[in-house]
Amino acid sequence: MNGNPATGVEPPGPGAPPPAIAVEGLECRYGDTVVLTGVSFSVREGELFFVIGGSGCGKSTLLRHLIGLQKPARGTVRYGGEDFTNADLAARRNLLKTFGVLYQNAALWSSMTLRENVVLPLEQYTTLNRREREEIVSLKLAQVGLAGYEEFFPAELSGGMRKRAGLARALALDPRIVFFDEPSAGLDPVTSRKLDELVLQIRETLGTTMVIVSHELASIFALADRVIMLDHEARGIIAEGRPRELAAASDDPRVREFLTRGDEKV
């Protein structure tokens, strides 16, 4: 969160601060199977960045490597210029505090109430006292439109509410970057649109950098400043840019087909 969010998409000039995320030559493997290779891109501070591509192209694999759930076979991931891939335990712990993740199924801890879910990162990483933590929880839940739901268990909420509660937990430590894994999965179009609006509102208010893994075209066109498209056969990035420009004028027919659902009309 900061007072002056940067949302521009122009490349940074010399002497500019390092990008929020810089990925260089990343190779992702499962055993001997190479899923992605030579993946390089950067995400600027405050940018709404989408990772798109068909099913099985390695979007979620890339995300798991970005957030440190899997170690890359080659390459590095840097956050604000700091190496995350080869960081020692203390540096890694410090970097983990700077980003939040909203998982596909929200991944709320089912035996805990929403308050307990959101308060856990605060207990872990801050020196706030109990009352102060409670206030932050109320604020976070209010930010995602769940004010008053502190004592509800995840099982007592609808799918959309669970996603929003997952977002509140991801935002608990006011991370500079939030990763979303298929945020629209399992949601109806209206709930999905509301979640998109929430993402925009949070970016606007908090200036958070958002990296969203999705193949939901409506969300991509509504939100994305910039996208990278992954391809299963190419095992890497086949396009990078603004979604509308790519849909209209990409040289690669696979990109146009994906972004126009094959009907070449956007």
Partner 1 sequence: MTVVPSPACAETIVAGDDLVVTVGGDWRITGLLPSWRKVRGDRAPHGVRLRAEGLGRWDSSLVRFVHEVQGWCREAKISCDTSLLPETVRRLVGQLEQAQEKRLPVDHSQNFLVTVGLAATDVWRQTREFASFVGECTLSAIGLVKRPGRFRWRDCFSEMQQCGAMAVPIVSLSSFLVGLTLAYTGAIILRQFGGDIWVADIVGLSTLREMGAVMTGVVVAGRTGAAFAAQLGNMKANEEIDALETLGIAPVDFLVLPRLVALTLMTPLLVMYANCLGIFGGMVVGATVLEIPPSAYWIETQANIDLSDFSVSLIKSIVFGMLIAVAGCLRGLQAERSAAGVGRAATSAVVTSILLLIVADAVFAVLFNVLGL
Contact residues for partner 1 (CB under 8 A)?
1-3, 17-18, 80-82, 97, 110-111, 122, 125-128, 132, 135-136, 138-143, 147-152, 154-156, 173-174, 205-206
> In terms of CB distance, is 90 or 263 closer to partner 1?
90
Q: How far is the CB of 225 from partner 1 (least distance, A)?
A: 20
CA atoms within 13 A of residue 133's CA, in its CB half-sphere: 17
Whose Cβ is closer to partner 1: residue 136's or residue 228's?
136
Can you give 61-85 as a three-state secondary structure string? HHHHHHCCCCCCCEEEEEECCEECC
Q: Nearest approach, Cβ of 4 to partner 1 (angstroms)?
A: 9
Least distance from partner 1 to the Cβ atom of residue 245, Å? 31
Q: How far is the first Cα of the chain from the last one, in angstroms, to the nearest whole number? A: 33
**Rounded to 10 degrees, what is the CA torsion of 60, 64, 67, 70?**
-170
Tokens of 58: 């390695």
At residue 33, φ and ψ (nearest 5 deg) are -85, 120
159 or 241: whose CB is closer to partner 1?
159
Widest distance between CA atoms in the chain = 56
Nearest distance from C-beta of residue 2 to partner 1, angstroms: 4
Residue number, 147 or 248, with CB nearest to partner 1: 147
Token pair of 113, please? Answer: 């109430």
Minimum Å gap between C-beta 213 and partner 1 is: 22
Inter-helix orientation angle 114-125/130-143, to 10°: 120
Nearest distance from residue 19's CB to partner 1, in Å?
Answer: 11
Q: Which is nearer to partner 1, 36 or 157 (CB)?
A: 157
For partner 1, the closer CB: 128 or 198: 128
* Distance separating alpha carbons of residues 190 and 143, to the nearest angstrom: 19
Cα separation of 115 and 256, whole Å?
Answer: 44
